[in-house]
Amino acid sequence: MMNNQTENTCHKFSLLRNKVDKTCNRLHLLHKNYTLCKNGCDTCCMNFSILPVEFYSIRNLIKDKKINIQHSNNPDDCPFLIDHSCQIYEFRPLICRSHGLPILTMDEEGEEWELSFCPLNFTSNEDDYFTHENCYEQDVFNSRLYMLNQEFISQFNEEKFSTNDLLDLRTLASRL
């Protein structure tokens, strides 16, 4: 059971999720002519691992809902993907919200931005098409998420976590 402090941190996570959604929605509109992503496209969907703050925020949002779960022997399969449709789409993790977008991440040395995107999208674009203004800067949001997670795990009494602990979506499905 969460205490008031962890509930407050989960609320802060929901505010971050709203910022991610606003950014992703703007970018999806901007790139709509270059992306093939639509309902049923699920090549990016898998059993992602997420930080405890996100795990418990999602769990609290879906725990009283009727959620269908896929039972697969493949550990990489997302348990919430059934018939090419996400059963928790409204509550899905942050990483799932940026699928299909051009994504910028900082290289390991922290010196250069690296670009990645789905190979089905942006097939005819030159590299100079991509800018900081039209790409999802994943590390910016991940840094905020990481800081919220630090706050969350310092206050959470239900389970103890270290700084880099992750929980996968199959574990989330099993705890509903």
Question: How far is 74 from 47, CA to CA, in rounded Å?
Answer: 9
pLDDT in tens, 104-121: 998 888 888 899 988 888
Q: What is the pLDDT of residues 75-103, one digit of tens each?
A: 999 999 999 999 999 999 999 999 999 99
Confidence (pLDDT) at 169 = 97
List the one residue out of 173, 148, 175 whose CA is nearest residue 6: 148
3-class secondary structure, 11: helix
Tens-digit pLDDT profile for residues 4-60: 888 889 999 999 999 999 999 999 999 999 888 777 788 889 999 999 999 999 999
pTM: 0.91
Phi, psi of 49 (to 5 degrees): -105, 140
